[in-house]
Amino acid sequence: MSDDTFPGWHGTTILAVRKGGEVVVAGDGQVSLGNTVIKGTARKVRRLSPGGRDVVCGFAGSTADAFTLLERLEKKLEAAPGQLARACVDLAKDWRMDKYLRNLEAMLIVTDGRDLFVITGAGDVLEPEHDVAAIGSGGNFALAAARGLMHADLPAEDIARKAMAIAADICVYTNGNLTVETIKV
């Protein structure tokens, strides 16, 4: 989207950490417009339960676009129960090929506890290395911090919370108001 039409929204850090038989997805609550914080308590991590099986999703980007994608993902999961990889690939294909969907501005981190994926509008369905994934404005800060903490004797949630705190200290588009969801492997 061109700079003329996009309002300059910033602000999301989503982090997923897989360790010790669980995956933790954490997201901050800040939404900024330019250099102004519009909201500090947004909830960008959601739990879906298509077919009774839990899936945790975190999103960065436009909220309306992300909700559209989450609805589509839920339908894909209902059509292919227990097949997160297939549902994610099908979503990414639709996202890239559909005339309407291809304009959506968002990224997703998705996990069912076994699998962990980053999904983009470019058609990417990526499995992260080192059991850590991050997206959003402060994603690289949170990713680096979490990777540095992975060898510590800490559970996944503590690593995620510490890494998010580091990202919030560095990235002006990230705050410390966290939503944290845990899913067992």
Could you give all domains of the chain from N- to C-terminal order, each with its CATH number?
9-184 (3.60.20.10)
pLDDT score, position 35: 83
CB 95 within 8 A of CB 102: yes
pLDDT tier for residue 50 given thresholds of 50, 70 and 90: confident
* Average pLDDT of every residue of the chain: 90
Could you give the CA distance from residue 56 to residue 113 in angstroms, rounded to a whole number? 8
Respond yes or no: is residue 12 known to be catalytic: yes
- The vertex-105 CA angle with 136 and 57, nearest 5°, equals 55
Return the pLDDT at 12. Answer: 86
pTM: 0.92
Q: In what order do the strands lie in the sheet with 132-136?
A: 132-136, 13-19, 22-27, 179-184
Of the candidates 12, 13, 111, 174, the residue annotated as catalytic is 12
pLDDT reported for residue 64: 86
What's the pLDDT tens digit per position in 101-123? 888 888 999 999 999 999 998 88
What proportion of the chain, given as a percentage, has pLDDT over 90? 71
What's the CA gap between 71 and 61, in Å, rounded? 16
Residue at 169: amino acid letter = D
pLDDT digits (tens, 9 = 90+) for 126-154: 999 999 999 999 999 999 999 999 999 99
Please write the tens of the pLDDT for every residue from 174-184: 999 999 999 99
